């Protein structure tokens, strides 16, 4: 199986024994506390679950700037996005302290991790602007990821972490949330060697379904990993539980048995387009996948990125930066000529009138009005799941 990124084995930061967890929680009684923001809590889940191998914790200032500018950790290893614990509040602890980090997404002041404080540094406005510009490609605060980053504050708290739990993800998504260790173990137990990963924050329509099928066939995959984001999204996106139900319905009806693994990961969407596509590749390599499907406007939002910028960025990183490969997907649409979903680059004899094209906005409008989706766009069983959600929301 493909090796994890920058390591011979996964390096999860989750505390491995109940005894150590109890000991750390007892020690936390005498520690200073820090309530982290949702983005930092999501980073902790990813660190704990092995997805961010080989990172040991939160980055310091010099490393954040190196990652933003050059996509490299201080040791030279490729890494595309900062992994930070930022705050806008004055901290009550000092460098060298152990601090209990409080989960903002769980009631009851629950401790999600213990952090060894390496440095407490301040980012000035020019440094923050530069980081945002490099990572997101814009400083426009109408971009939801940009706004979130600016809102986190300018005090950077770095240091190694020991993660105690996976926040709300195991409880709320017990059937779907999986660590990188669990996914690797499942792939190994199935005897799969060549796995294609599909990233999604949306329900999967006909085009997504066929894209997975095409990619699997063209790279001769043993199986497909459908890996859905379970964390915070922007207003208007479909909730994770509805997406989960829609995807399971599609797989149950339209894929061969034991060919697709349906899993999810606990992270807040960055909407960072090309840079986030690179991060998606890193942690899918850590999951044991050989390929990641990168399609039109992967991890994008609005009109901030070109349709295929997230593919092009892979051509501009060092050849040895990643072991995982990408499957470059074109626009997909339903061909009325061929009565199936196709990648538009594969059918040069088609005109625009030969395709059925529906925007996400149009689909949401139809669902909110209780109108049936055309069979060319969504499987009827999937459309029914989505319709129930939209009618309940009215």
Phi/psi for 119 (5° steps) reads: -145, 150
What distance in Å separates the CA atoms of residue 360 and residue 335, rounded to the nearest whole number? 18
The reply to whether the predicted model has a pTM over 0.85 is yes
Tokens of 47: 């660190």
Report pLDDT for 358: 64
Rounded to whole angstroms, the maximal C-alpha distance in the chain is 71
Tokens of 169: 């993800």
DSSP 117: -
What distance in Å separates the CA atoms of residue 115 and residue 360, rounded to the nearest whole number? 41
> With 0-12 CB in 10 A as exposed, 13-18 as middle and 19+ as buried, what is 50?
buried
What fold, for 174-393? Answer: Rossmann fold (3.40.50)
CB 299, CB 270: distance < 8 Å:
yes
Report pLDDT for 394: 65
What distance in Å separates the CA atoms of residue 56 and residue 294, rounded to the nearest whole number? 28
Check 202, 248, 296, 364 and give the catalytic one.
Answer: 202
Domain limits, the chain: 18-170, 174-393
Report pLDDT for 202: 83
Please give the CATH architecture assigned to the domain spanning 18-170.
Roll (3.10)
CB 288, CB 220: distance < 8 Å:
no
Q: In sequence order, what are the beta bridge partners of 119?
A: 158
Residue with tokens 């490969």: 325
CB 71, CB 63: distance < 8 Å:
no
Report pLDDT for 364: 72
Tokens of 57: 């914790």
Question: Taking Cα atoms as reference points, which of 252, 239, 246, 240 lies closest to residue 373?
Answer: 246
Cis ω before 134 (30° cut-off from 0): no
Report pLDDT for 298: 92
Write out the chain's pLDDT in tens, 394 residues: 999 999 999 999 999 999 999 999 999 999 999 999 999 999 999 999 999 999 999 999 999 999 999 999 999 999 999 999 999 999 999 999 999 999 999 999 999 999 999 999 999 999 999 999 999 999 999 999 999 999 999 999 999 999 999 999 999 999 999 999 999 999 999 999 999 999 998 888 888 899 999 999 999 999 999 999 998 877 777 888 888 999 999 999 999 999 999 999 999 999 999 999 999 999 999 999 999 999 988 999 999 999 999 999 999 999 999 999 999 998 888 898 998 888 888 898 999 899 887 666 677 778 878 888 888 888 999 999 988 888 877 6
Report helix, strand or coil for 217: helix
Helix axes 180-190, 274-287, angle to 10 degrees: 50
Report pLDDT for 238: 80
Catalytic residue list contains 201: yes
């Amino acid at each position: 199986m493909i090796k994890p990124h920058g390591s011979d084995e996964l390096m999860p930061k989750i505390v491995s024994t109940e005894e150590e967890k109890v000991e750390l929680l007892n020690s936390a009684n005498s520690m200073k506390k820090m309530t982290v923001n949702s983005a930092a809590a999501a980073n902790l889940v990813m660190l704990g679950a092995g997805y961010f191998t080989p990172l040991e914790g939160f980055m310091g200032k010099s490393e954040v700037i190196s990652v933003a500018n050059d996509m490299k950790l201080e040791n030279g290893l490729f890494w595309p996005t900062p992994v930070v614990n930022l705050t806008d509040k004055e901290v009550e602890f000092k460098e060298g302290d152990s601090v209990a980090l409080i989960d903002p997404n769980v009631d009851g002041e629950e401790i999600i991790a213990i952090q060894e404080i390496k440095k407490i540094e301040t980012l000035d406005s020019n440094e923050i602007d530069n980081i945002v510009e490099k990572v997101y490609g814009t400083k426009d605060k109408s971009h939801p990821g940009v706004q979130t980053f600016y809102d986190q504050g300018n005090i950077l708290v770095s240091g190694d972490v020991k993660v105690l739990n996976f926040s709300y993800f195991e409880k709320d998504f017990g059937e779907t949330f999986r660590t990188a260790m669990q996914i690797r173990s499942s792939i190994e137990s199935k005897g799969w060697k060549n796995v294609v990963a599909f990233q999604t924050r949306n329900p999967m329509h006909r085009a997504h379904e066929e894209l997975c099928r095409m990619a699997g066939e063209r790279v001769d995959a043993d199986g497909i990993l459908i890996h859905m984001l379970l964390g915070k999204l922007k207003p208007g996106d479909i909730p994770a539980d509805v997406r989960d139900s829609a995807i399971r319905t599609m797989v149950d009806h339209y894929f061969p048995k034991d060919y697709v693994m349906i899993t999810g990961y606990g992270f807040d969407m960055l909407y960072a387009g090309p840079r986030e596509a690179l991060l998606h590749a890193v942690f899918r390599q850590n999951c044991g996948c050989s390929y990641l499907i990168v399609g039109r406007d992967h991890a994008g939002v609005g009109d901030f990125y070109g349709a295929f910028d997230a593919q092009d960025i892979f051509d501009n990183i060092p050849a040895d930066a990643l072991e995982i490969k990408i499957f470059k997907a074109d626009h997909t649409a339903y061909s009325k000529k061929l009565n199936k979903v196709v990648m538009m680059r594969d059918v040069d004899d088609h005109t625009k009138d030969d395709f059925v094209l529906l925007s996400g906005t149009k689909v949401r409008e139809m669902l909110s009005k209780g109108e049936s989706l055309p069979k060319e766009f969504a499987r009827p069983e999937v459309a029914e799941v989505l319709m129930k959600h939209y009618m309940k929301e009215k």
